[in-house]
């Protein structure tokens, strides 16, 4: 009985623990990716005002064609 219990605990620690760690890491990275995708349009507008609305208080320069 003790050998069987030791075998089960060993298998659980050897296989189950890495699976749990990977599952938690996957969940964390997916949530982080979703957050970054929500923030991307704002960041794009801040760094490339000609493509977006630009940062608050900025004015777009409109040049007329000669």
pLDDT of residue 48: 67
Stronger pLDDT, 7 or 55, i.e. the higher one: 7
C-beta of residue 49 within 8 angstroms of C-beta of residue 60:
yes
pLDDT of residue 43: 75
Taking residues 27-43, what's their average pLDDT?
91
Containing 35, the helix (H) or strand (E) segment is helix 17-47
Band (pLDDT 50/70/90 cuts) for residue 60 is low
Residues 6+ apart with CB under 8 A from 41: 52
Angle at 30 between CA 19 and CA 38, to 5 degrees: 170
């Amino acid at each position: 009985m003790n050998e069987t219990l030791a075998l089960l605990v060993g298998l659980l620690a050897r296989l189950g623990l890495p699976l749990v760690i990977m599952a938690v890491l996957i969940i964390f990275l997916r949530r982080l990716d979703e957050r970054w995708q929500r923030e991307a349009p704002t960041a794009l507008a801040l760094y490339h005002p000609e493509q977006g609305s630009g940062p608050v208080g900025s004015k777009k320069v409109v040049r007329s064609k000669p």
